[in-house]
């Protein structure tokens, strides 16, 4: 009984009876489930956060600044009298987490090709933060106009394109590839938050870390020359300098132009149905003459090019041709072969330096020239050291450009089925992405003989041949690539 009385005395002496019957209602503040203090009023803390955010409000033009993500304020009942000031709690929050404002998160998911192997894909996710939904909508619309062409896009939208009579083209579809979601959220002010469509459009076209420079036009400059020397494509030049309508626009000395490197963050797809008249190259017939010296030859009958009316569905991604589907070909004029009389003692495996066979059938389209570009497969900027020829259809024949010896007839993940021919005159030719190889290493081939078939093996977006001409064995030290069009 004595022990009980002593214990009771201690309890009464240590606590005030009035406090015990009237506990305090305070608010405990958590950041990521960790207690950072206790305040008397939740509203007072929220008002202080909003008041201290005046600079953020002015920057983004908003009325309210919110607490960071992960901040919780919970009501508690306690006898403890210890409180923290709202200012000290604000400073603790500010040190650990950024404050937020209301806006929208735009997420775009795209399936893109992977460099890990043939036919492999991966998901690319881009996120953007905007104050209003219409900022992204306007920026996406402007990005589409840049890559499609404002006048062309307006004619497509208003259904006012000029119909195809005999030849011409019309846009049949325009869209942004990938899944898009928009949700309202509280955005940390440390994120890139777009308050204007103009700024977002720039970053969607050129990337966030883009840099531009000025170039002063010199005598003899062309748009093609300036673009090539500055390692950009003609399309990039025209995007950076919208005052020029096409690559043939006139320049004048001391004119200042912009060199901008694009890094598109969206995939703007344009589908075009095209009907065009294409010249078809003539073949050659060799007449052997025992009376002529070795190395002597002359043209007995001049060749004449033919003319084909070619219809195609063409898929453009960000202004570059990505895929061609042949729809038809009408021969308007049959080519007349060139007849060459040549001495009989030519060594068959030595190619001519002046006469080169086009590597495909007629009806072709060059989808990528010998120029600097962004590789559509790996996204890297590099010199496209050949020309891509498409439009003749999957499985159509490929021809040897000259007499020579097959050095390589093989396959790699990047090149697909490919052939390299040594013409034994200092030049090599390269044929990539074949669906089938019809020659073997060491085989002597004649100019115009069939060596394979057009395909899309390796890193390819559609059926075409990657055709290159090199001095020396391709991609070895000391070798040099050439623009194949300079040989025709």
Per-residue pLDDT tens over the stretch 369-401: 999 998 887 888 999 999 999 999 999 999 999
pLDDT tens-digit readout, 432-460: 999 999 999 998 888 999 999 999 999 99
What is the model's pLDDT at position 390?
97
Which residues, 6+ apart, have CB-to-CB distance to 188 below 8 Å? 68, 69, 97, 98, 99, 100
**Cα 417 to Cα 410: distance, rounded to the nearest angstrom:** 6
Mean pLDDT for 120-140 is 90
**Among 31-35, 154-158, 283-287, 289-293, which is the least confidently predicted range?**
289-293
What is the model's pLDDT at position 218?
96
Mean pLDDT for 207-236 is 92
What is the model's pLDDT at position 331?
96
pLDDT tens-digit readout, 96-127: 999 999 999 999 887 776 666 556 778 888 89
What is the model's pLDDT at position 375?
86
What is the model's pLDDT at position 80?
84
Q: State the sign of the Cα–Cα–Cα–Cα dihedral 213, 216, 218, 222.
A: positive
DSSP for 149-195 reads -HHHHHHHHTT-PPPPSSSEEEEEEEEEESEEEEEEEEEETTS-EE-
What is the model's pLDDT at position 210?
81
CATH number assigned to the domain covering 211-261 = 3.10.350.10
Q: pLDDT tier at 21 (50, 70, 90 boundaries)?
A: low
What is the model's pLDDT at position 19?
47
Mean pLDDT for 242-271 is 93
What is the model's pLDDT at position 187?
95
Mean pLDDT for 20-33 is 86
Residue among 462, 467, 460, 459 at smallest CA distance from 488 = 467
Extents of the domains making up the chain? 23-97, 100-162+177-209, 211-261, 267-487
Half-sphere exposure of 310 (CA within 13 A, CB side): 23
pLDDT at residue 49 greater than cutoff 60? yes
What is the model's pLDDT at position 3?
32
Mean model confidence pLDDT for the chain: 90
Q: pLDDT tier at 10 (50, 70, 90 boundaries)?
A: very low
User: Would you identify the CATH topology of the domain 267-487?
Assistant: Glucose Permease (Domain IIA) (2.70.70)
Mean pLDDT for 214-233 is 95
**C-alpha 110, offset from chain centre:** 12
Class of residue 123 by CB neighbours under 10 A (exposed 0-12, middle 13-18, buried 19+): exposed
């Amino acid at each position: 009984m004595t022990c009980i009385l002593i214990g009771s005395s201690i309890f009464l002496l240590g606590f005030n009876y009035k406090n015990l019957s009237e506990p305090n209602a305070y608010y405990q503040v958590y950041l990521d489930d960790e207690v950072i203090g206790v305040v008397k009023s939740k509203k007072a803390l929220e008002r202080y956060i909003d008041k201290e955010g005046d600079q953020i409000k002015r920057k983004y033009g908003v009325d309210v600044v919110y607490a960071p993500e992960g901040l919780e304020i919970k009501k508690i009942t306690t006898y403890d009298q210890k409180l923290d000031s709202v200012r000290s709690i604000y400073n603790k929050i500010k040190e650990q987490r950024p404050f937020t404002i209301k806006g929208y998160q735009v997420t775009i998911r795209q399936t893109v090709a992977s460099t890990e192997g043939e036919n492999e894909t991966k998901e690319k996710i881009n996120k953007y933060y905007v104050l209003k939904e219409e900022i992204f909508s306007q920026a996406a619309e402007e990005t589409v106009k840049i890559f499609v062409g404002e006048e062309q896009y307006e004619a497509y939208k208003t259904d006012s394109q000029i119909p195809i009579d005999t030849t011409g083209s019309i846009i049949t579809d325009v869209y942004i590839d990938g899944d898009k979601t928009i949700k309202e959220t509280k955005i940390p002010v440390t994120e890139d938050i777009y308050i204007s469509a103009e700024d977002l459009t720039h970053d969607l076209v050129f990337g966030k870390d883009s840099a531009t420079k000025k170039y002063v036009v010199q005598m003899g400059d062309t748009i093609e020359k300036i673009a090539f020397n500055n390692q950009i494509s003609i399309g990039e030049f025209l995007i950076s300098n919208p005052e020029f309508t096409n690559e043939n626009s006139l320049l004048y000395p001391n004119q200042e132009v912009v060199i901008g490197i694009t890094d598109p963050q969206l995939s703007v797809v344009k589908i075009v149905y095209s009907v065009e008249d294409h010249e078809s190259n003539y073949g050659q017939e060799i007449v052997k003459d025992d009376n002529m010296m070795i190395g002597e030859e002359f043209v007995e009958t001049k060749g004449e090019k033919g003319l084909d009316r070619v219809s195609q569905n063409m898929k453009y991604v960000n202004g570059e041709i990505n895929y061609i589907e042949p729809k038809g070909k009408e021969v308007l004029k049959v080519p007349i072969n060139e007849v060459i009389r040549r001495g009989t003692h030519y060594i068959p495996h030595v190619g001519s330096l002046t006469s080169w066979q086009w590597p495909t059938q007629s009806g072709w389209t060059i989808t990528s020239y010998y120029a600097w570009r962004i590789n559509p497969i790996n996204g890297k900027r590099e010199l496209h050291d050949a020309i891509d020829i498409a439009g003749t259809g999957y499985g159509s024949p490929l021809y040897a450009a000259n007499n020579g010896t097959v050095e390589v007839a093989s396959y790699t993940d990047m090149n697909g089925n490919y052939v390299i021919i040594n013409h034994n005159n200092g030049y090599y030719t390269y044929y990539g992405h074949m669906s089938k190889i019809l020659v073997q290493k060491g085989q002597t081939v004649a100019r115009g003989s069939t060596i394979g078939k057009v395909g899309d093996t390796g890193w390819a977006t559609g059926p075409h041949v990657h055709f290159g001409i090199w001095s020396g064995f391709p991609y070895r030290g000391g070798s040099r690539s050439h623009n194949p069009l300079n040989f025709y």
